[in-house]
Amino acid sequence: MPRSIVPVNLADRLSQFSELWSQKTVATLNDYEIKLAKVKGEFVWHTHPDTDELFLVVSGRLTIQLREADVVLEPGELFVVPRGVEHCPVATEETAILLCEPAGTLNTGDAGGPLTRATETLD
């Protein structure tokens, strides 16, 4: 059966990796990548000058620190960080998230550094 008509099972895809802060592409939508990641701890403050970034919590709890306030997301909740807004994701427990952003978007945005990772595709 062609892959394009097979549903993506998020739990199955999440079981395929354990590394933290490493985004895995599980689908594409036009020029956007739908990615999964497991996160724990504090990421880096960064911006994406040219794109919004969607975060959806699959399991766990994610805080997206913004300079003016924190946004706390529980499972099933999503938040879109507007383009150009500085933010820093934080998770006190291991948290699974789904992200949606244009293909090729760096996970660390304009900050770079040791947490920058190329996105891998999960089959």
Tokens representing 40?
Answer: 């724990």
Beta carbons of 107 and 23 less than 8 angstroms apart: yes
Beta carbons of 18 and 114 less than 8 angstroms apart: no
Beta carbons of 46 and 110 less than 8 angstroms apart: yes
* pLDDT at 120 exceeding the cut of 60: yes
User: What Å distances lie between residue 8 and 13, 35, 45, 77, 123, CA to CA?
Assistant: 8, 11, 31, 19, 10
pLDDT of residue 108: 74
Which CATH number does the domain 3-100 belong to among 2.60.120.10, 1.10.10.10, 3.40.50.300, 3.30.450.20?
2.60.120.10
Stretch 86-107: mean pLDDT: 94
pTM equals 0.91
